[in-house]
Chain A
Amino acid sequence: MIYCAPPASALLHQPLDAFTAVFHRSSGITHLLVPPAPQILATLSVEGLSRDALLERLRDEYDLADADPLALTARLDELVAAGLVTQRAARA
């Protein structure tokens, strides 16, 4: 499964405190995100990444020592449910 972020122009980010407010232009919905959701959105591209490739990137960029694939899957599922991330089948 490939997870894709919307184009950068689709979202407005406003860091608040522990939360980041994100306005999704196409739906008009305001989301309040906590880490690692903003970092996931920043790391995913429009072309998309598999979960394992995303985990690798996050591990490199944020020095994650104990990155948990299952926890990342749960966060990705939440972002998909919120409409901020889309998923498509990986090409064979």
Chain B
Amino acid sequence: MRHRFDVRVGPVGFRIGADWRAPIAQLADLYRDYAKPADGIPDFTVRLTATRPWRRWIRPSVAITGDYTLPEAAPLPLAQGLLAAEMAMNLQMALGWRRHLLLHASVVENNGRALVMTGESGAGKSTLAALLAAQGWRFMGDEFALLDPDTGALHPFPRITSLKNQSVAAMAAIKPDARWGPLLAGTPKGDIRHLVPDASAISAMDVAAVPALLLFPRFGFAAAERSVPASEALVRLTQASTNYTALGEKGFVALTRLIASVPAVAIDYPDGDTALALIQRLMR
């Protein structure tokens, strides 16, 4: 690869190579305070390559590849190269990581107690994690919760936060001094901007936390709250996991232990303030 950047996020080391300088420079800036892979050996390699040799220069088009690839992954224009890198990093985790049970969820921590929020795209798990982080909670990640099958602890994976559409302006107003990536307009997921987590989240990315609450938030509805039965939580979390099947018995034991040990609650919320008030009460 012509251009390369290595980074470690929590326990996972990535090597990202690209045919172009721009996405690597953006990654290097956004991840400048992160560590490098342990012993210089990454777990995963991500490659941002031109879909055809001439597409390096003519209407540059970034193919999302790496150790693990999906043939149907659509290429992105070079202006969205940073998003391509983030998607490719997610793909490596989703398809290749085996050391933890992965849940597609955001995680924040307060006083050693971790809140796990999972839901479909648009449920607000990234936005809620960022809002809680702005209130002093430790941001542990908003893409994957890494559940240790041996200890039941959650390990941080505090990647840069991908905020979409109206969440970008809302968060910029709340955190005017935050570091941001470039605005990526018109992506398949809408307008996206990446927010760099607080220094405290990055410096504590090797510090695990004990799960305290499973939350299934849903944005855009009148405030409501209900307890989620263990069986429903199991079904929803197996659907939210990218490697539950691959982990086999370890995944079953880890997930059923998590569900047995913490309450699970579904909330509907019309705005961030309502959600934060609900969460503060539930975490007491």
**Chain B residues with CB under 8 A of A28:** 245, 248-249
**Chain B residues with CB under 8 A of A21:** 231, 234, 252, 256
Contacts A28-B245, A30-B238; A12 near B231 (Cβ below 8 A): no
Contacts A17-B229, A21-B256; A12 near B249 (Cβ below 8 A): yes
Count A interface residues, CB 8 Å. Answer: 12
Whether B229 contacts A16 by the Cβ 8 Å rule is yes
**Chain B residues with CB under 8 A of A30:** 234, 238, 252
Whether A17 contacts B252 by the Cβ 8 Å rule is no
Whether A32 contacts B234 by the Cβ 8 Å rule is yes
The proximity string for B residues 94-136 relative to A, scoring 1 for CB distances below 8 Å and 0 otherwise, is 0000000000000000000000000000000000000000000
Task: Tell whether B253 is near chain A: CB-to-CB under 8 Å.
Answer: yes
Interface size class of B (residues with CB under 8 A): 10 to 19
Task: Tell whether B235 is near chain A: CB-to-CB under 8 Å.
Answer: yes
Task: Tell whether B259 is near chain A: CB-to-CB under 8 Å.
Answer: yes
How far apart are A76's CB and chain B's nearest CB, in angstroms?
Answer: 23
Q: How far is the CA of A14 from the CA of B256 in the complex (A)?
A: 7
**Chain A residues with CB under 8 A of B253:** 12
Task: Tell whether B210 is near chain A: CB-to-CB under 8 Å.
Answer: no
Task: Tell whether A59 is near chain B: CB-to-CB under 8 Å.
Answer: no
Q: How far is the CA of A30 from the CA of B251 in the complex (A)?
A: 10
The proximity string for B residues 238-258 relative to A, scoring 1 for CB distances below 8 Å and 0 otherwise, is 100000010011001100100
**Chain A residues with CB under 8 A of B248:** 28
Q: How far is the CA of A23 from the CA of B260 in the complex (A)?
A: 16
Whether A18 contacts B249 by the Cβ 8 Å rule is no
The proximity string for B residues 215-248 relative to A, scoring 1 for CB distances below 8 Å and 0 otherwise, is 0000000000000011100110010000001001
- 13 additional contacts (CB under 8 A) given A12-B252, A18-B231, A21-B231: A12-B249, A12-B253, A14-B256, A16-B229, A16-B234, A21-B252, A23-B249, A28-B245, A28-B249, A30-B238, A30-B252, A32-B231, A32-B234
Q: List 18 A-B contacts (CB under 8 A).
A: A14-B260, A16-B229, A16-B231, A16-B234, A16-B256, A16-B259, A17-B229, A17-B231, A18-B229, A19-B231, A19-B234, A21-B231, A23-B249, A28-B248, A28-B249, A30-B238, A32-B231, A32-B234
Q: Using a CB–CB distance below 8 Å, which chain B residues touch chain A?
A: 229-231, 234-235, 238, 245, 248-249, 252-253, 256, 259-260
10 closest A-B pairs (Cβ-Cβ)? A19-B231, A16-B230, A23-B252, A14-B256, A16-B231, A17-B229, A28-B248, A17-B230, A17-B231, A21-B256
Q: Using a CB–CB distance below 8 Å, which chain A residues touch chain B?
A: 12, 14, 16-19, 21, 23, 25, 28, 30, 32
